Structure formats: C-alpha cells, structure tokens
Amino acid sequence: MTCRVEVAMGNNMAWIEEALRELREKNLYTTIRTVASPQGPWLEVDGRQVLNFCSNNYLGLASDARLVRAAQEACERFGVGPAAVRTIAGTLALHLELETSLARFKEVEATLLFQSGFCANLGTIPALVGAGDAIFSDELNHASIIDGCRLSRAEIIRYPHNDPAGLRSLLEEHRAHYRRALLITDGVFSMDGDIAPLPELVALAEEFDCMTMVDDAHGEGVLGRDGRGIVHHFGLQGKVDVEVGTLSKAFGVVGGYVAGKALIIEWLRQRARPFLFSSAMTPADTAACLAAVSILEENDALVSKLWKNTYYFKDQMQLLGFDLGQSVTPITPLMLKDEMLTQRFSQRLFEEGIFATAIAYPTVPLGKARIRFMLSAVHEREHMDEALTIIARVGRELEVIR
C-alpha cells in the first residue's frame, strides 16, 4: 500500500521535471540572482559589485535614510505585523493617514491601500465588472491586469497596443452587446517605456460609455508634476475613474493602492477580495510610504534628477547607434531582437560589471528580445559614463554597433 502511494507520487511530479527540462533547453529558464547590499547605484550581486541598471527604484527611496527611520519608529510604536485583515482588526490609524496623504498627492477624492499593485488589480477589476460585461484591454497590459480581468469573468476584448483607431472599431463592433464596460490600460508600458495615449482613450470611453482604469505603476514618481503620474501628465484630473498604483517602484517600499472617486473606493472596501481576505500592510511599510509621499510633496529634486539622468543616458546610447525602440520614459530598452544575442549581451555586461536584465519571450514576443536599462535618481554622471563605455565595448564586440 505505502509502496504504491510512493510510486504514484513519483509519477505525479514527473511532469514538472519534464517542464523544467524543456524550459532549460529553450533558454527560457529564469535564473534568479541574489542581492546582498542595499539598493543603490552599485549592488552586490552573486558575490560581485556591479552597477545597477535593473531596479524600479526610480527615486532612490528604497534605501533613503528618512524612510528607514520612519519604518523603525513605526516598528517600535506598533510592532511588526498588522495581525489581521483591514476589515477585522487590521486597520491602523497609519493606514488611514497614508490613504489621505496619497489622495492629496494624486488629487483624487479617495484612495485604498492594498498589499501590492498586483493585489490592487486583482481586487479592483472583478469589483467593477462581471459576467455580461466587457473589458477593453490593451494587448500589452501587465500580467496583474490580465489576471484581474480573467478573475472578473467579464468578456475580455484585447485592442491593438496604444491604437485608439483599432480600439474604436472594436468598440463599434462589441460595446452594444454588453451591459457595463471597462477600458483598461497601463499608463507606462514596462517593457517598452512608451505611454498610453490617455486623452484619446478617455474620449473614446466617454463616447462609448465605458468606465476607465489606468495602472500607473511605472508613471508615479516619474511622470506629471512632482511625479503625480500619467493622469497629471496629460492634465486629465477627474476624467479617469480608477487609477491603480504601486508603492514598490518610485515610492521605494512595497504595497499598492487604488485612487479615484470616493464612491468607487467605498465599493472596493466592501468588495475587493485581497482587501477583505488578506492581511493589511505592515506598520513599517506604511510609515515608510508616508515618508516617501512627503518627500515627493516637498520638492521635485529627485524627479528632476531622474529625468536629467534619463535624457543624458538615452542621448548617449542613441549617439552610439543603439536602437531604443519607442521609449519616452526612464525605461530604456536596448532592442536586440535575437534571443541568443540578448542573453549573450546581458551576460557579457554582467561580467564587465553592469547589471541589466535580458528580457525575452514570453515576457515580450519572440524576435523582440531586448536588454532593459532602468535609470534612477541614484545614478551620478560617473556611473552612467562607466556603463556607457562598457555597453559600447560589448556592443562592438558582439557587432551590434560599429
């Protein structure tokens, strides 16, 4: 009896070994590197010092002393864990303070915290649409949007990337067949660094009676006045129904939130499942985020440094002859197209002390592989110059540039 069970278990798991072997054979196996230093311009990765062009730490807040102190003080006052979900005993005064301060920063009526941006999408989309409704979703939207859409059971209609004309014809064809509709897009697309044509999308949503939702994970702390995000960038305050944000990129900590009309936020408090069934953000994270928002409200020093670095690095890369695709943000893809070349380029950069990730299928389509350089306010001119020298050398070595 025991023996038979063991044999069955062995067979049960064999498919995983097979699937893993296949990933390795196709060069699609993700190797996870280990960081042993705080986030900054340099990182200690797998035992070596490398220049960091990988992190989403746009403003350098992940290791900012003011955030660290705020987190320490919150631990001492409130302990380490929330000990409950928000709706039972997990709502701290600190959470409400952060929600108020984010609402002021984003200039919206209200916000609601989630444990991550991923959770914010999973919670929000199914609360807004369900069976019998439709979602019009950009074909390159983030995985957490895709999963949120699937969980909702609404019909998902993917429109061509950043293409209002393509969206219009899909709206004309399908909108009338559904009860409610939600138009949803990333603000900044994380693999290409391009941004959604929000004014055109909002106009279409009004014309075809759709709710609008923007995921601004890579826009906050980056776009708009003092980093208020893509809605401010386009001057569309009050015109987008729901914004999803993350506290783990420019804000430097971890967590997510939804920003919008008070009515929607009230509804999410009743219906968003990760809010109802998963524990609250920790006191330390919440306090660190509060410190991050005040730093952004104080002045735009970090946001302007981020953009100064972005313009410098991208200009130099273009002068060297590299193809940076459609990017208009600090996300800087070096388009190499070929998967093997991209792996090789990234590996050579790492050997030379530059940490920048290779991004290939299935994260981007086959034949669209690239290396993604992330700029940050932590970079100084000397860091970028050192990196540019090495990138140029490797580029010549691999015959990408001459």
Ligand X SMILES: *Cc1c(COP(=O)(O)O)cnc(C)c1O
**Residue 274: partners with Cβ closer than 8 Å, 6 or more residues away:** 114, 115, 119, 120, 122, 123
Q: How far apart are CA 340 and CA 398, in angstroms?
A: 11
Q: Out of 99, 186, 192, 339, which residue is the one contacting ligand X (CB under 6 A)?
A: 186
Nearer to ligand X, 39 or 144 (CB): 144
For residue 43, the one-letter residue type is L
What would the x/- binding string for ligand X be over residues 205 to 244, using CB under 6 A?
A: ----------x-xx--------------------------
DSSP structure string for 233-298? HTT-TTT-SEEEEESSSTT-S--EEEEE-HHHHHHHHHH-HHHHHSBPPPHHHHHHHHHHHHHHHH
Contacts with ligand X by CB under 6 A: the residue count is: 13
Confirm whether 305 is a catalytic residue.
no
Report if residue 138 touches ligand X, rule: CB under 6 A. Answer: no
Q: How far is the CB of 217 from ligand X (least distance, A)?
A: 3
Q: How many helices (H) and strands (E) does the chain have?
A: 14, 13
Confirm whether 218 is a catalytic residue.
yes
Nearer to ligand X, 285 or 391 (CB): 285
Q: Out of 137, 190, 309, 376, which residue is the one contacting ligand X (CB under 6 A)?
A: 190
- Beta sheet of 369-374, edge-to-edge order: 331-337, 369-374, 357-359
Please list every residue from 41 through 70 that binds ligand X, using CB under 6 A: none
Q: How far is the CB of 326 from ligand X (least distance, A)?
A: 16
Which residue's CB comes closest to ligand X? 117
Catalytic residue (one of 116, 144, 152, 190): 190
Q: How far apart are CA 120 and CA 254, in angstroms?
A: 12
Nearer to ligand X, 52 or 144 (CB): 144
Q: Cβ of 335: how many Cβ atoms within 10 Å?
A: 18
Q: How far apart are CA 61 and CA 376, in angstroms?
A: 10
Q: How far is the CB of 96 from ligand X (least distance, A)?
A: 20
Report if residue 248 touches ligand X, rule: CB under 6 A. Answer: yes
Nearer to ligand X, 111 or 116 (CB): 116
Catalytic residue (one of 232, 249, 368, 379): 249
State the burial class of residue 362 (Cβ atoms within 10 Å of its Cβ: 0-12, 13-18, 19+): exposed
Give the footprint of ligand X on this chain (CB under 6 A). Answer: 116-118, 142, 144, 186, 190, 215, 217-218, 246, 248, 256
Residues annotated as part of the active site: 190, 218, 249
